Amino acid sequence: MDVTVVVPVFDTMPYLTATLDSLVAQSIGASRMHVVAVDDGSTDGSGEELDRYAAAHPGLLTVVHQANSGGPAGPCNVGLELAQGRYVFFLGSDDYLGEEALERMVDRADAWGSDVLCGRMVGVNDRYVSQRLYREDAEDVPFPGELLPYALSNTKLFRRALLEEHSIRYALDLRVGSDQPFTVEALHHAARVSVLADYTCYYAVRRADARNISYTSTWRARLEDIGAVMDHIAELLPAGEERDGVLVRHFDSELIKLVERDHAVLPESDRAPLRAGLRALMDRYFTDRIYARLGPLTRLRYCAVRADDPQAIDDLTTVDADELPLVLDGEHVSFHLPDHVDDSLPPDVLQLPLTHARRMVFRVSSDARVTWAEDRLHLEVPTRLDPRSTPYVRAALIAATGLEGRPALRRDRRAASDKPSRRVDIAADGTLTWSGDVVAELGDRDHALWELRLQLDVGEHTYALPVYAEPIEPQQVRRGGIGRRRHYDVEVLVDSESRVLVSCEKR
């Protein structure tokens, strides 16, 4: 038997029918799979639906009926005890699988020697599922790394021998989130964690009745539940880099929502206990490593929580990180806060972590306006850059040979300095302007086609961002002294992705 699918079930009709249909239709076939469905005291007909499918598909489904245990942990443990497959997969009873999901995951795990394999998961009915982990197939993904801490659900393929060797089971004292410590322990012990991204394996459904537990709990319950999950993870992983690499997820994703969303609408009788509860978790787990991996606004919010400053928290609720100007100083990318927010803080609070900075650098500009004036090419482009960034930004013409389809480049700063480039001007509103004599720069060079890019110096690298614009009319430029005039045809082109290319040819 290749794989056992464990399905904990409690009152999920009519969604359960689609779940079971997706299992019956699996391309892996009944001879290679087994389903253990544990009815946890359902009262809506889910138990009867399970029995109907088991009767219609003998040998495929094993159905267990039990009194309600209060959560999915107990049923998952029951399913594990009855599992027969080399692999175990956990499926929510209101979700469903792609038809080839199990076959593809098992075959890929066998080929790669994976102990845990994460198949692409998407949301249905506005259910949010981050896609960062699923950008491409990956045979060996480091744990914790930058991605896995944000994908701790149990909706993965686990090698059953790994679970048995380390006696990995679900914590029965957690009301919600019991899959997180389970998954963390498996990832911690796994010799290889892999990602299957080229096929959608799992469809996570947000129910129309909004009864998914993550959408129904109060702030107090969520704070207590998140804290309990963090405590369990802390028991599994000793204090240090690995634990911090996992717990950063809870500060960066789950707890911060209590600050951003709940605090603003709660009465002060609730706001003060919320801040106190957050500070208690910060005292236990908020390390310098976690602080360094958070974005500036998140850092500021936790600074305000630590200082028990509700006004500062409220001020930050009006700040949109996607609209804040960015300041380059050659080494870092930082946010520039609006005047109404107290910015008398250590500079490092506003600096973006390296992973955030890379993403933000490639979102600094929008469509440009390119024009000719007096034989010079003029560029005007709205950006999010603060004028203080000017010394670290240039416009550059880079040989376009083979550039089609290539993403924005990152080069060692020294290697980027030999390209024809010019400093730009950045106005107070972020508008970047540049004017270049294209013939003077390119007329005697070997390449006939060049791409216009913005170069930004950050740390040891120079990032080269494409410039996007509408095409403009060709321009003929004449250069040289009397009797030695040369003609150059200069044309601004736009490729299939709207990137600006410059052609300069002698006549």
* 34-92 pLDDT per residue, tens: 999 999 999 999 999 999 999 999 999 999 999 999 999 999 999 999 999 999 999 99
Q: When comparing pLDDT for 404 and 139, which is higher?
A: 139
Residue 370 CB partners (closer than 8 Å, separation 6+): 377, 378, 379, 380, 452, 467, 469, 470, 472, 492, 500
Task: Report the alpha-carbon distance of residue 38 to residue 78 in Å, rounded.
Answer: 7
User: In this predicted structure, what is the pLDDT of residue 6?
Assistant: 98
Structure tokens at 264: 């603003």
- CB neighbourhood size of 305 (10 A): 26
Element (H, E) at 304: helix 296-306
Neighbours of 218 (CB within 10 A): 10
- At 405 the pLDDT is 44
The more confidently predicted of residues 345 and 336 is 336
Q: Return mean pLDDT, the chain.
A: 88
pLDDT in tens, 184-237: 999 999 999 999 999 999 999 998 775 544 444 799 999 999 999 999 999 999
> How many residues in total does the chain contain?
507
Q: How many whole angstroms separate alpha carbon 246 and alpha carbon 244? A: 5
Provide the 8-state DSSP code for 442.
H
Give the model's confidence band at 415: pLDDT under 50 very low, under 70 low, under 90 confident, else very high: low
Question: What's the pLDDT at 484?
Answer: 53
pLDDT at 416 over 60: no
User: How high is the pLDDT of residue 12?
Assistant: 95
CA 418 to chain centre: 35
Q: Which alpha helices (H) appear in 61-137, and where do they start and end?
A: 73-82, 101-112
Question: Is residue 503 helix, strand or coil?
Answer: strand
Task: Convert 108-130 to b/e letters by CB count within 10 Å (16 or more is b).
Answer: bbeebebbbbbbbbebeeebebe
Average pLDDT (165-191) is 96
Give pLDDT, residue 316: 85
pLDDT at residue 464 in the model: 85
Per-residue pLDDT band at 475 (split at 50, 70, 90): confident
CA dihedral 194, 195, 201, 205 (to 10 degrees): 110
Q: Which of 71-80, 330-339, 436-445, 478-487 holds the top average pLDDT? A: 71-80
On the CB side of 117, how many CA atoms lie within 13 Å of its CA?
A: 29
Task: Decide which of 350 and 292 is more confident.
Answer: 292
Express the helix, strand and coil content of the chain in percent, nearest 5 each.
35, 25, 35
Q: For every residue of 106-139, which 3-state class applies, written as one string?
A: HHHHHHHCCCEEEEEEEEECCCCCCCHHHCCCEC
- Please report, to the nearest 10 degrees, the dihedral formed by the alpha carbons of residues 170, 173, 178, 182 taken in order: -40
pLDDT band at 345, cuts 50/70/90? Answer: low
Q: Which of 34, 40, 61 is nearest to 50 (CA)?
A: 61
The percentage of the chain sitting over the pLDDT mark of 90, rounded to a whole number, equals 60
Question: Three-state SS across 412-467?
Answer: EHHHHCCCCEEECEECCCCEEEEEECHHHHHCCCCCCEEEEEEEEEECCEEEEEEC
Q: Which residue has the tokens 């005007």?
A: 380
| φ/ψ of residue 90, rounded to 5 | -105, 130
44 is catalytic: no
Buried b (16+ CB within 10 A) or exposed e, 235-246: ebbeeeebbbbb
Reply yes or no on whether the pLDDT at 369 is more than 50: yes
Instruction: Decide: helix, strand or coil at residue 150.
Output: helix
- The fraction of the chain above a pLDDT of 70, given in percent, is 89
- The pLDDT confidence band at residue 480, using thresholds 50, 70 and 90, is low
Average pLDDT (263-288) is: 95
pLDDT tier for residue 421 given thresholds of 50, 70 and 90? low
> Which tokens in the block code for residue 16?
């359960």
Which residues lie below 8 Å from residue 506, measured CB to CB, with a gap of 6+? 443, 486, 487, 488
- Centre a 10 Å sphere on the Cβ of residue 297 and count the other Cβ atoms it contains: 20
pLDDT digits (tens, 9 = 90+) for 303-337: 999 999 998 898 888 888 778 888 998 888 888 87
Q: What is the pLDDT of residue 215?
A: 42
Per-residue pLDDT at 344? 57
Per-residue pLDDT at 422? 75
Amino acid 123 reads G
Given a cut of 70, whether residue 173 has pLDDT beyond it is: yes
Catalytically annotated residue among 39, 179, 244, 386: 179
Give Cβ neighbours of residue 271 (< 8 Å, ≥ 6 apart).
263, 310
pLDDT given for residue 340 in this prediction: 59
Distance CA 184, CA 177 (A): 11
Q: For residues 232-250, give the mean pLDDT.
A: 97
Q: Quote the CA–CA distance of 164 and 175 in Å, as a whole number.
A: 24
CB distance 301 to 316 below 8 Å: yes
Does the pLDDT of residue 382 top 60, yes or no? yes
